Amino acid sequence: MDRTPHLDMPYILPSQAQKHVTHNEALAALDTLVQLGVIDRDLSAPPGSPVEGDRYIVGGAATGDWAGHDGEIAVWLDGAWRFFAPAPGWTAWAADEGAILAFVAGGWVPLPVAAAAEAALFGVNTSADATNRLAVKADATLFSHDDVTPGTGDMRQKLNKQAAANTVSQLYQNGFSGRAETGLIGDDDFVFKVSPDGTTWHEALRLDRNSGRVGLTQGQLAFPATQNPSADANTLDDYEEGSFTPTVAGATTAGSYSYSIQSGSYVKAGRIVSVKLDLQVNTVVSAGSGVLRIMGLPFGPADNNVGAGGVIFSSAVAGVPSGFLAWMPVVMTGPYVQMRYLTTAGNAGNANIETVVQASTRIIIAMVYEANA
């Protein structure tokens, strides 16, 4: 054996001439590899003006004088590049990254730091900087309770700011452009914010630090177009506001009518629907017959003959029974409002369209009923 097994330095052989050549070659190898520190490890081509003793880890797909030496240690000595092939376990300091590297099968990788009492910067699979002093590139990170010491079984992450006017938050980004932020942003209320572009921000929720009250900063709460019903009595599963166009029709023969006033609006909270409608018949094109129905309701009832409210007829109504007390609008499957009446004797009956609805008849109804969903 005429060379060392680890650093591949030449031995001085017995009776060897010019022993100084072998000795100097070994010293050059020691000077290069002991306390190894490189300037860079990402270059694929040699730098233009190297200085004697400059050391690099050759990058991938190397070219020029470095071709064929990917991952090797290149040192500029006596006006030429010398190369040393690393072995698993070798370490080097990469000055441009501020990181310790280790050579393993497949290449050079940052060497994990087992423990440190204090470090100004710390990067995991990436480089930390003055702004991001702790930087991690990973598919996932885990913070778990201490079951080694062991600890209490709890796990609490603490984020602290200097004063109320400062910000402590978590920022969610897409392509390093902000899209959502949560935290104490400029004061001590807990805030949820979103952004379409990282520049324009919209505050969505604010949790008051003094009362715990939840504030809808935009003043709106959107429910899905299709209700997701809940059996929980304390869960609001729907809210909707809208309008509809009411019409009159007979139960036996619908008839045809033109209108001078025709408006309807509703508010639905959960399954409770509040309805207001106002319609006035202009002309009777063809008279209907049977029980008077007000058509066009937006939601069907939970059951027939439900609802509570008031009715106003702006003109005299023919066919009112003796002892008439009040009109009763009830909601029927269809959905529609069926006009009924109550007498002082406690009798109830249906109002027929042919006797109640004439030209210029105006009907105003305000009522509440339970929807079927």
Q: Is the pTM of this model over 0.85?
A: no
Q: Report the range out of 277-291, 301-315, 354-368 with the highest average pLDDT.
A: 277-291
Strand partners, 193: 181, 203
Q: Are residues 211 and 284 in the same domain?
A: no
299-351 pLDDT, tens digit each = 988 888 667 777 876 665 655 666 566 777 888 888 998 888 887 777 788 88
Q: Are residues 279 and 199 in the same domain?
A: no
Q: How confident is the model at residue 44 (pLDDT cuts 50, 70, 90)?
A: very high
Lowest-pLDDT range of 50-64, 172-186, 316-330: 316-330
Q: How confident is the model at residue 115 (pLDDT cuts 50, 70, 90)?
A: low
Q: Are residues 191 and 310 in the same domain?
A: no
The residue out of 61, 93, 109 marking a domain boundary is 109
| The pLDDT value given to residue 210 | 96
In a domain, 139, yes or no: no
Q: How confident is the model at residue 373 (pLDDT cuts 50, 70, 90)?
A: confident
User: Residue 371: phi, psi to the nearest 5?
Assistant: -80, 165
Q: Are residues 173 and 270 in the same domain?
A: no
Q: Are residues 197 and 245 in the same domain?
A: no
Residue 194 token pair:
């979103």
Residue 143 token pair:
């913070």
Return all residues near 140 (Cβ < 8 A) that are at least 6 apart.
none
Q: How confident is the model at residue 145 (pLDDT cuts 50, 70, 90)?
A: very high
11-27 pLDDT, tens digit each = 777 777 787 666 667 66
| The pLDDT value given to residue 189 | 97
Domain encompassing residue 172: 167-216
| The pLDDT value given to residue 106 | 76
- Identity of the amino acid at 174: N
More confident of the two residues 350 and 281: 281
In a domain, 49, yes or no: yes
Taking residues 237-260, report their average pLDDT.
Answer: 95
| The pLDDT value given to residue 262 | 96
What total number of domains does the chain contain?
A: 3
Residue 128 token pair:
């930390």
More confident of the two residues 115 and 69: 69
Q: How far apart are CA 317 and CA 314, in angstroms?
A: 9
In a domain, 138, yes or no: no
Q: Are residues 269 and 354 in the same domain?
A: yes
In a domain, 177, yes or no: yes
In a domain, 201, yes or no: yes
Return all residues near 126 (Cβ < 8 A) that are at least 6 apart.
135, 136, 137
More confident of the two residues 330 and 42: 42
Q: How confident is the model at residue 249 (pLDDT cuts 50, 70, 90)?
A: very high
**Cis geometry, peptide bond prior to residue 335 (ω within 30 degrees of 0):** yes
The residue out of 68, 87, 109 marking a domain boundary is 109
| The pLDDT value given to residue 24 | 64
In order of 64, 327, 340, the CA distances from 308 in angstroms are 91, 11, 12
Q: Do 309 and 329 form a contact (C-beta atoms < 8 A)? A: yes
Q: Are residues 263 and 200 in the same domain?
A: no
Q: How confident is the model at residue 68 (pLDDT cuts 50, 70, 90)?
A: very high
Q: How far apart are CA 257 and CA 290, in angstroms?
A: 15
* Nearest C-alpha neighbor of 263 from the set 249, 241, 245: 245
Taking residues 266-277, report their average pLDDT.
Answer: 93
